[in-house]
A and B are shown apart, each in its own frame.
Chain A
Amino acid sequence: MKKFQLDLAVEDNCMVGPGVTLLTLRSEDGLPDMVAGQFAEILVPSAKVLLRRPISIHFIDKERNTIGFLIQIVGDGTAALAALRAGDSVNVLLPLGNGFSYRSTHVARPLLIGGGVGVAPLLFLGQELAGNGIIPTFLFGGRNGELILRKEEFMKYGNLFMTTEDGSAGERGFVTDHSLLLDSESFDRVYACGPTPMLKAVGHWAREHDTACEVSLEHRMACGIGACLCCVEDTADSGNVCVCKEGPVFNIDRLKWFH
């Protein structure tokens, strides 16, 4: 897939949860084709920060030529991105990485599991699946209900279930405790993004129930295009591979988590 270096205009940037901003960028000339699960490397407009920040594509609006990013403020780089205002220009590299396999793999009953800001790529994935007539099931977890982001938006594309550690929304517990998972026959493929312990728990469940599972990883990244070899993950078939190029989405069978 051809990659582009584009200057995009900030259309909107607003807080959508505690310490989480939704950055919407617009292209005057249209946006290239992108796969859900791919990401962009966004140049940070701050002298405090050198490297770009890799951010998942949260949604694409093909009619309005806009692309959205859900950004959790964790340091100087993300704080500078959260400070962008409408009319500012941002340089981005996109689309990067592989994305989820829905365009090449048959799926009928997908379960999309997300934790925290890891729900970001699942909206774009939900849009894509719904566009193909497949209604996704979303299962999101958080410490409390307030930390489960953009609920109404997700409900436009599928059914949303939740777990919270304090029981303030959905069922109490972790995503893998949810009653949805009691009947593993309900789903033929799991797509997950979120904290690594959650992904490992989800992967473990998927293996036990013989359900295909893809997880999107987040590693410390520099180039984003497979040149610097910094963001590697150890795989069963090829040893260390770049998360930015061969990932960020991996079928759990490739990972060494369960070997």
Chain B
Amino acid sequence: MVSLSTKIGSLELKNPVMTASGTFGYGTEYSDFMDISRLGAIIVKGTTLNPRQGNPYPRMVETPSGMLNAVGLQNKGVDHFVDHIYPEVRKIRTSIIVNVSGSCIDDYVQTASIINTLDDIPAIELNISCPNVKQGGMAFGVNPDSAAQVVGAVRKVYDKTLIVKLSPNVTDITEIARAVEGAGADSISLINTLLGMAIDAGKRKPILSTITGGLSGPAVKPIALRMVWQTAKAVKIPVIGLGGICSATDAIEFLLAGASAVQIGTANFIDPSISGKVIDGIGEYLACHGFSSVRDIIGILDTD
């Protein structure tokens, strides 16, 4: 029997497979299709201090091997989460992690300190990389100083596991990763979506209401893999890899590149039971290749 358990800071996960924020709702949307308590963790939809209506429709367009989205952090705000969603998601027998976003540092700090009071939320994922909001979001994540500033401010009020989700829309991902580590992050997750756009040539108009949006899906996997590999070498804290993972093999590639855990995102839309299959597939790979623990393959990529 192989061990699938892994660790993100002080957080023990029963396996390294999480579902990515914004792709898995609050988990229960998927419970008809799979046993969601099997997941290593569920990262719930991006939560902000105040309710957000998100961007106007159209918010999505399929692109070759991927999709662009411009949802714009639609959510009912942290108070709604605490009163209405937390009582439900805390019953799910896995780690529930809240993705936290904001327009200014104070938004992040206030939201994080409210989530900090919830006993059954063992971690937050700080989203400093959303490309679809005018203020905040990615603006914090593309500069090492502002990234460190927001992480440092949240660190002061948040005492559980603090994961910071990075944007790939930067020249040197390791510079941002080191800044975030230095500011007190317990873990880094990457990549968020890549800024892209799509045009309707017939109408001579952009397809998304926001003109640009975030690209995800298999199209981004090679970029994500490269950035995870670079980041895992640059920092000591655990890295969580995501970007286009559609199979157990994809997930294993991220683990070999140095990720301590992975997130499944866009693939949930194609196969709502994919994450269970990825968990099973990782176990089979470990058994087949003679490893007793998933921890034994993290970062063992042979580059010689």
Contact = CB atoms under 8 A, between A and B. Distances in A.
Interface of A: 2-5, 43, 48-52, 91, 93, 219-234, 239-240
A50 B57 contact: no
Interface stretch (B58-66, B185-193, B224-232): B58-66
Contacts of B67: 50-51, 222
Given A43-B270, A50-B270, A52-B270, A228 B71 contact: yes
Given A219-B58, A223-B269, 6 more contacts: A5-B33, A48-B64, A224-B269, A227-B23, A227-B25, A240-B53
A239 B53 contact: yes
Contacts, number: 92
B277 to A, nearest CB: 12
Nearest to A224: B269
A51 B269 contact: yes
B74 A229 contact: yes
Contact of A229 (B59, B64, B66): B59
Top-6 shortest CB links A-B: A230-B60, A227-B25, A3-B32, A223-B269, A227-B29, A222-B269
State which size class the interface on B falls in.
20 to 34
B272 A232 contact: no
B59 A230 contact: yes
B241 interface: no
Nearest to A230: B60
B217 interface: yes
Given A5-B33, A51-B62, A225-B30, A230 B69 contact: yes
A138 B65 CA distance: 41
Interface in B43-102: 45, 53-54, 56-62, 64-67, 69, 71, 74
Contacts of B266: 50, 222
A50 B217 contact: yes
B33 to A, nearest CB: 5
Given A222-B69, A225-B30, A5 B53 contact: no
A215 to B, nearest CB: 16
B268 interface: yes
B247 to A, nearest CB: 14
B24 interface: yes
A239 B54 CA distance: 10
Contacts of B37: none
Contacts of B45: 229
Nearest to A225: B29
Contact of A220 (B30, B32, B58, B269): B58
Contacts of B271: 5, 43, 91
B269 A52 contact: yes
Contacts of B25: 225-227
Q: Which residue of B54, B58, B60, B67 has the most chain A CB atoms within 10 A of its CB atom? A: B60
Contacts of B29: 223, 225-227
B169 interface: no
B54 A232 contact: yes
A36 B56 CA distance: 28
B113 interface: no
Q: Which of A43, A219, A230 has the most CB of B within 10 A?
A: A230
A236 B1 CA distance: 55
B218 A50 contact: yes
Contacts of A48: 64
A51 to B, nearest CB: 5
B22 interface: yes
A219 B25 CA distance: 19
A230 B270 contact: no
A226 B67 CA distance: 17
B268 to A, nearest CB: 7
Contacts of B272: 5, 93, 223, 225
A223 B22 CA distance: 11
A2 B60 contact: no
A228 B22 contact: yes
A228 B217 CA distance: 13
A47 to B, nearest CB: 9
A50 B66 contact: yes
